[in-house]
Structure 1
Amino acid sequence: MKDKKQESFHVIPRVDVPDLSGKRSSVRIRRKPVRKSQVETWTVRPSIETPDQEEKIPEKKRKPLSVRAKRTIRRWIVVGVVTAAVAVSYLTITLQTYTGIEVVEQIQEARGGNSFYVRYGENILGCDADSVSLFNLEGKELWKESIQFQKPIMEVSRSSAAVAELRGNEIAVFGEDGLRGQIKTTLPIEKMAVSSQGITAVILENGGAPVIQCFDVSGNVLIEYKVSAATSGYPVDLALSPDGTKLLVSYMMTQNSEVDTQLAYYDFGNEHKDGDYRIGGGTYANQLMPTVFFNSEEQSVAVGDGGFVIYDGAEPKEKKKISIDKEIRSIAYNEEYLAFVLADEGSSGSELRFYDYSGDEVVSKEFEGDYSNMKIDDGQVILFDGESASIFTEGGIHRFEGTVGANIKDLFVLKGINKYLLMSDKGTQRVRLTK
């Protein structure tokens, strides 16, 4: 297509111009002045009836580029606006701290006695002095088993749970479908651990010669070890690997008025001809480590008053030792993180601090308040005491700070935004966080 501003000339031959092609032709040409008014200027525009090269392509086969470009730009603008709106809404909801609770649904009436609850896979295991029951997050009871424990304690490992009478002689082992077996001991139970297969280990009180025993689900004794507290120290905690083949025991040793900790690992998954099943461990001076647990088959952690230590490997060796120079008030852990509530001496405030299992600090958050209960549930740290609660995400965002109007027994995260399952002296309720 020609430019509209370009000038074009069309010269018409005149009839009085002689033919110069013939022989002996002689013409005398005299220049005649031409006035400007006699020169016609034409602007040539293409006829609207004459399509150019691109317009000859049928409309259905190829749309004008400008139309497609406009539609693409318009589409991306819409996508951008919607994405921005969703992002703003998400940040508005997740980054603010809520202070109120709204009851959405009353699921169950209050249970009698000192009941408590534990997350059990996708369900919740509840226990009181009369029964152990499993119910889903919708509040539907899946099964219920009668027990008679005045002071029940519970340990859970993946698909198995063990419930015992503190300083009693009975243990009930549960699976996802209910009661699997019962165990009786001859001495009072002080500490207990369970593996995912249902193997149960206990520390039994026996004066200065405590006994460590392991049982299968049917109650058969697999291992028995009589401890000499005078030489080995007194066992204060124990843990089983998920497959039940390794046992970790934390011993408290007192020497020259100082308290030391000895960690000992035992392997019962392989035959040891020399009869010595110990495969690793270590001694930590001037430090008491009353909490030990396995994070995986070959990784375990011991937590004490000055920090924690991570062990790794089939024959466990110290991987990393982390010192904490603040008072440890509470601890909680899951498969990804180990969380602490720390306090400075003489300070009313607290610090929430997260570590991963490489020993690296990943979150540190200051907050006010003092809570006696702490747990990690579905990526959130939940602190509660009486009617008060505080909730943080694993990223350190403070989700909730306030009271719920009832004495809290437990609090679990539900699917959906700001939704929780509240167990209290008013029963089981589905609640939502509000401003």
Structure 2
Amino acid sequence: MSDFGSMSRESKKDKLRRQIVRPQQPAWNADPEEDSEAVVRKAHNRVLRHRWALVILVLLLIGGGAAAWIFYQRNYRYSGYDTAWQVDLNEGSLVGYESFGTNVLKYTKDGASYLDNRGRTVWTESYEMNSPVISVKGDYAAIADMQGNSIYICNTDGTQGQATTVLPISKVAVSGTGVTAAVLEDSTSSYITFFKKDGTSLDITVKTNMSGDGYPLDIALSDDGTQLMCSFVYLQGSELKNRVVFYDFSEIGKNVPNRLVGGFDDEFQGDMVPRVTYMGDPYSCAFSGKALTFFSSRNLASPELLEQRTIEERIDSVFYSDEYAAAIVRNTNGEYGSRLEVYKKDGTHVLSKEFNFEYTHADFDGDLIILYNEDSCRIYNMSGTEKFDATFDFPVSRIRKGRFPGTLVVTGPQQMRELKLH
């Protein structure tokens, strides 16, 4: 019995041992802290992946929306307009309007007024001129009395100074800093003189005559007022010729005879250059009867000819901005009477567009090309898409972009209005 009882107890103990669940032993290299860091890292990576996916989705939506908006703006053609607002203007002895600041500078024989893009008069300056002419560069303008003796220099804040000359004025140019140059004439010579923005004279004069350097057809000042670009017509024997020259009045030009840092004659053989202009720094352009010639003054001591864009047909008109220069030529082939050629300021060709439209004015405003006459307009973008074509029941003197996309500010002799295109 004792043996049997002993065996029964051992059997029960073995049964109990088999029922006990033994805990698993940790692996030799396991570390509880490392396991926690791994879990946190995985969770953090999941959050980052979700965030990046969301950012990429948002960027794709923004990019798609922007592409759709650009496509819409480039290709949509407006078919009509509503008048958003209209103001009456005091016409006076109106001579014209010039793009200035956020809208236009109105100039007459009796004075000038700066009008903002809501038609409000910001400032007015009174004067008396027989034949006012205007030059604008950035936020500065110079108004001179052709064959008279007075120049008013102003910016978007108002008149900054008045200059008076002894000899009659034939040309005027202003810089983006208010420095102004004027061509004065007597019976034998021409004088290019300079004035500060307050109207006081600068001790700089360029004297020329037909038998020497020539007669200045046109002048232009760089944005900072330190460089002067001139087109001269001169006599060589009995033949009239043309040259384009550059003067530098900074420290660089001090070491150059007569401060003449560049001259170009051969490029204009048999041609005249009635218009020169400085565009966005450091570029400039000369407009002749046969070509648009683009220069760079990146090296102030030696301006460089970049491109000469020859045009075979007759050039009817030219116009320009800080970024673009254009010529409208007489089209000799096809059903269209005119062709528009547009170039960037470095001479790169942008657009060739044929059209039929009897324009009297052509302007750039940003990336828009605006052709208009006294009662109608046609507008293209830089892709050549016709954006708007309309005939108005009111007189037109100037057209430019409005405050918002799809708007125009149209200025006439007696009224200014903003048009909402649709």
Q: Distance in 1 between matches of 2:95 and 2:392?
A: 18
CA drift of 1:116 comes to 2.3
Is 1:302 paired with 2:286? yes
CA drift of 1:124 comes to 2.9
Q: Distance in 2 between matches of 1:131 and 1:297?
A: 32
Number of residue pairs the alignment of both structures matches: 365
The superposition leaves residues 233-265 of structure 1 with CA deviations (integer Å, 9 ceiling, x where unpaired) of 221001111111111110013446654321111
The amino acid of 1:158's aligned partner reads G
Is 1:263 paired with 2:239? no
Consecutive unaligned residues in structure 2, runs of 5 or more: 1-42, 44-52
Q: Distance in 1 between matches of 2:110 and 2:70?
A: 44
Q: Distance in 2 between matches of 1:150 and 1:350?
A: 35
Q: Distance in 2 between matches of 1:383 and 1:186?
A: 39
The amino acid of 2:406's aligned partner reads N
Report the TM-score, using the length of structure 1 for normalisation: 0.75
Secondary structure of the residue aligned to 2:94 is coil
Q: Please name the residue that 2:231 is paired with.
A: 250
Q: Distance in 2 between matches of 1:230 and 1:298?
A: 32
The superposition leaves residues 248-305 of structure 1 with CA deviations (integer Å, 9 ceiling, x where unpaired) of 1100134466543211111111263675211111102111111111124432211111
Q: Please name the residue that 1:337 is paired with.
A: 324
**1:198-209, aligned counterparts within 5 Å?**
198-209=178-189
Structure with more of its chain in helix, by fraction = 2
Q: In the alignment, which of 314, 317, 323 is matched to residue 300 of structure 2? A: 314
Q: Answer yes or no: is the 8 Å Cα contact 2:83–2:417 preserved in 1.
A: yes
Q: Please name the residue that 1:276 is paired with.
A: 258
Consecutive unaligned residues in structure 1, runs of 5 or more: 1-61, 63-71
Q: Answer yes or no: is the 8 Å Cα contact 1:406–1:426 preserved in 2.
A: no
Cα distance, 1:141–1:229 mapped onto 2, change above 3 Å: same
The amino acid of 1:243's aligned partner reads D
CA drift of 1:142 comes to 1.8
Q: Distance in 2 between matches of 1:259 and 1:208?
A: 17
Q: In the alignment, which of 409, 414, 423 is matched to residue 411 of structure 2? A: 423
Q: Answer yes or no: is the 8 Å Cα contact 1:356–1:362 preserved in 2.
A: yes
The superposition leaves residues 198-247 of structure 1 with CA deviations (integer Å, 9 ceiling, x where unpaired) of 11111123234222211223331432222121222221001111111111
Q: Distance in 1 between matches of 2:68 and 2:222?
A: 44
Deviates more, 1:159-168 or 1:206-215: 206-215
Q: Please name the residue that 2:209 is paired with.
A: 228
The amino acid of 2:232's aligned partner reads Y
Is 1:152 paired with 2:154? no
Q: Answer yes or no: is the 8 Å Cα contact 1:107–1:430 preserved in 2.
A: no
Secondary structure of the residue aligned to 1:230 is coil
| Percent identity of paired positions between Structure 1 and Structure 2 | 27
Cα distance, 1:281–1:275 mapped onto 2, change above 3 Å: closer
Q: Distance in 2 between matches of 1:395 and 1:236?
A: 34
Q: Answer yes or no: is the 8 Å Cα contact 1:330–1:372 preserved in 2.
A: no
Cα distance, 1:243–1:111 mapped onto 2, change above 3 Å: same
Q: Please name the residue that 2:104 is paired with.
A: 124
Structure 1 stretches (4+) deviating beyond 6 angstroms? 82-90
